[in-house]
Amino acid sequence: MSMANKLKIKKGDLVQVIAGARQSRGGDRGKQGKVLAVYPERNRVLVEGVNRVIKHKKATQTQAGGTAGGRETHEAPIHVSNVALVDPKDNKPTRVGYREESVERDGRTKTVRVRISRRTGEEI
């Protein structure tokens, strides 16, 4: 069993799709969305409103007596290399870096790693 990779994108981050077909050609490049789930073992992220696929559901009987089935659209995971974190300062995609800061709490100093935007140097 291999160790899962450490991803720089977390659940709840705003990301932008930076690869694939342009929106004018029916693709998702340039779209922004919130990360709904992260799958580090597969290097993939689930982004809201991006990479939507149609799943066909077989019609089955429900308890109320009706039938439930047909076509449902869901988001599918996208590779983490195809998305970039959006810089909160200027709403453009940026790379992620880390900076170590010392924080003092209850009289003791603690070193904390903080995610920063490579574009502006701002804390994310």
Report if pTM > 0.85: no
In the structure, what pLDDT confidence band is assigned to residue 2 with cuts at 50, 70 and 90?
low
Q: What is the pLDDT of residues 63-110, one digit of tens each?
A: 877 778 899 999 999 999 999 999 989 999 999 999 999 988 888 898
Read off the pLDDT of each residue in 33-52 and give the average, rounded to a whole number.
96
How crowded is the C-beta side of 51, counted as CA atoms within 13 Å? 21
In the structure, what pLDDT confidence band is assigned to residue 19 with cuts at 50, 70 and 90?
very high
- Is residue 4 predicted with pLDDT exceeding 50? yes
C-alpha 19: how far from chain center: 14
C-alpha distance from residue 19 to each of 27, 57, 62 (Å): 9, 30, 41
